[in-house]
Chains A and B, each alone.
Chain A
Amino acid sequence: MLEIRNLHANIGDKEILRGIDLSVQAGEIHAVMGPNGSGKSTLAQVLAGHPAYEVTQGTVLYDGRNLLEMDPEVRAQEGIFLAFQYPIEIPGVTNAYFLRSAYNEIRKAKGMPELDPLEFLDLMEEKTKIVEMDQAMMNRSVNTGFSGGEKKRNEILQMAVLEPRLAILDETDSGLDIDALKVVANGVNALRRPDNATIVVTHYQRLLNYIIPDRVHVLAHGRIVKSGGKELALELEERGYDWIPGAAA
């Protein structure tokens, strides 16, 4: 589904990604771990098409198509979803309106009919249950005045509604207490299907107790320095990163 080859990316003059190779198949969950500043979030942002990053080398194929040529909104319409590490506030725009607009844009891109507000309300009733969220949240402005946990839950809600083929969770676990963490993980697991895939970017192993990855990758200095099965995450938890060749600071 996703083929990343020798991906290099800069922010300004600074090279952050220095040759990433990663292959993700449908139905898989991949965890990308690594110390602070290793380039985890950059990888997530580059896949989503953030304009601040410049890709200098390499290719990314998504279902065999050149992902890097697509505008961010096209990537979203094609099923790529990024759960933001720091979700953005949009004052005055209700969560319900925002999400319905996004949902309908994506439906439109697929040639499907748009949902009217009432039909969408029914869909929301079902989806808010997945993340144990109060319906009243839908009438609040997008992320405005939300607590850290509410923002992260809101990202997962959006994911549940938009049903992406490839979801990228960027440090979704940071700042969550254990209950919120479970809610987020249950949300991700409930949405797992044979034809979609998830990349979980995280600093801690904790989230991976609840979302069991098929593959774990260690990112350091802009490269993947080690890959393994789910047990690699446990080993990292125990031993840190320094024992891995190429990961030392």
Chain B
Amino acid sequence: MSSAIESLVNKEYAYGFVTDVETDSIGRGLSEDVIRLISSKKNEPAFMLEWRLKAYRRWLTMKEPHWGNLHYEPIDYQNIIYYSAPKSVKPLQSLDEVDPELLRAYEKLGISLNEQKKLAGVAVDAIFDSVSVGTTMKEELSKYGIVFCSFGEAVQNHPELVERYLGTVVPHSDNFYAALNAAVFSDGSFCYVPKGVKCPMELSTYFRINSADTGQFERTLIIADEGASVSYLEGCTAPRRDTNQLHAAVVELIALDNASVKYSTVQNWYAGDSEGKGGIFNFVTKRGKCAGVNSKISWTQVETGSAITWKYPSVILQGDNSTGEFYSVAVVNNHQQADTGTKMIHIGKNTKSNIVSKGISAGHGNNSYRGQVKILPRATNARNYTQCDSMLIGNQCGAHTFPYIEVQNNTATLEHEASTSKIGEDQIFYCKQRGLSAEHAVSMIVSGFCREVFQNLPMEFAVEAQQLLGITLEGSVG
């Protein structure tokens, strides 16, 4: 393939630096004692510790899933550090108290926790290794009664909300990684939007793994009460290291009657080097529940990082007339592997789901779309539309599609479209013949391919996503 394609897909990872902060870490390995230690470090109420232990005991009985189209060396769960926190973290009154070294780390990532974000109208919660180091715009949000804080703070200040909703979408026993997360998660973001409130700004969490040999297990819980709406963004990076690091997060979204939640991710964890050494193992459980009538949950993801991605943001369509959406761009290059997709579980009447998945494979990358659409007996007039497109760059990569469809109500309407294409020399030559450089041509072609997904990203992230793919936004808005 032409050199321009290679240089485009082989862009250097810009976030591979390590920040030098003192950390409070516990020893390697996992046991009930470790869980008790984490819980006590977090000063948690009894219900939390019980829930963690229940999850841990369940996890011990579970087996690592291997049905994904993924190949990797076994993970030694006793060789991972399950808790690491910047030492200076104590309850902070304001961002001024945050360790300047940490703030500098976020500046380097282009995430300012200070003024710029305020101007951009985005509230940010920054998670460094396992704990939240700062949440911006809290006061502004509290005027609307919106709670946006670290998970740890929510446990302290709003235990009733946490107890009521935690694990209601992704139970502690859901799957191997979700159970592990429930046992050991040390922080994450929490958001509650009260009845009738439209959140006036984008909320954002930025995850950063810094310490070596540390697993990151964060948990995000977002609740939109009746008639509420919120749009949430998530970004992630990690330093360049030779060893694989485990990231096993859980995200739970809940939309009550007439509520809507939009969740967008730009995942750019370190992917390993060009030989496939190092990189993040990203085993994530993301699920939303449209619990109320006319509710809506929408996932948009741009997955460019991680050595391995195992992730299926899903929606349980329980409320009548509820809507679930999944828009995804997954890019693999070098030796990256992604097995990603969604599950749409239709329970309520007149429920609708829409799936648009764009997989791009380059180098030796291997990309699988795995999607389940399930129509349960009570789901009269359910509708699903699935579009699943793959693009190949070069001759050594792979693209696979695994759709699972299960229909138990014959009034359902399902459509499934799939395509595979290859960036050809002819497409590039055509662009070059019109005066465009090969690099411009490739980014234009890739951008066109991803157009329907980028259109669903909030502006701020659309720009980041485009840059990640070496693309200019103009391509998709013409």
Contacts and interface: CB of A to CB of B under 8 A. Distances in A.
Interface of A: 48-52, 71-73, 75-77, 81-82, 84, 87-88, 90-94, 96-99, 101-102, 105-106, 109, 139, 141, 158, 162
B436 A102 contact: yes
Nearest to A104: B435
B262 interface: no
A93 B426 CA distance: 16
B123 interface: no
B449 A73 contact: no
B415 interface: no
Give the 6 A-B residue pairs with the shortest CB-CB distance, closest first: A92-B448, A94-B478, A93-B448, A97-B478, A102-B434, A76-B435
A93 B445 CA distance: 7
Contact of A105 (B435, B474, B477, B478): B435
Nearest to A75: B433
Contacts of A92: 447-452, 476
Contacts of B433: 48-49, 72-73, 75-76, 81-82, 84
A57 to B, nearest CB: 23
Interface of B: 2, 421, 425-427, 429-438, 440, 444-445, 447-452, 474-478
Nearest to A161: B434
A52 B425 contact: yes
B442 to A, nearest CB: 11
Contacts of A99: 434
Contacts of B429: 48, 50-51, 72, 88
Q: Which of A50, A101, A109, A162 has the most CB of B within 10 A?
A: A101
A77 B475 contact: no
B475 A93 contact: yes
B439 to A, nearest CB: 10
A56 B329 CA distance: 43
A96 B435 contact: no
A144 to B, nearest CB: 9
A105 B430 contact: no
A181 to B, nearest CB: 23
A105 B426 CA distance: 20
B4 to A, nearest CB: 10
A96 B478 contact: yes
Contacts of B445: 90, 93
Nearest to A91: B448
A93 B432 contact: no
Contact of B432 (A73, A109, A141): A73
Contacts of B426: 88
A101 B436 CA distance: 7
Q: Which of B2, B436, B444, B452 has the most CB of A within 10 A?
A: B436
A105 B436 contact: yes
A76 B436 CA distance: 8
A243 B452 CA distance: 57
Contacts of B476: 92
A109 to B, nearest CB: 7
A76 B434 contact: yes
Contacts of A91: 421, 448-449
Nearest to B391: A91
A90 B440 contact: no
Given A51-B425, A109-B435, A93 B430 contact: no
A127 to B, nearest CB: 15
Given A101-B436, A101-B444, A162-B434, 13 more contacts: A48-B433, A51-B2, A72-B433, A76-B432, A84-B433, A88-B426, A93-B444, A93-B447, A99-B434, A102-B431, A102-B435, A102-B436, A105-B440
Q: Which of B430, B435, B444, B476 has the most CB of A within 10 A?
A: B435
Contacts of A72: 429, 432-433
Contacts of A87: 430
B431 to A, nearest CB: 8
Contact of A158 (B434, B436, B437, B447): B434
A116 B432 CA distance: 21
A81 B474 CA distance: 24
Contacts of B440: 101, 105
Contacts of B451: 92-93
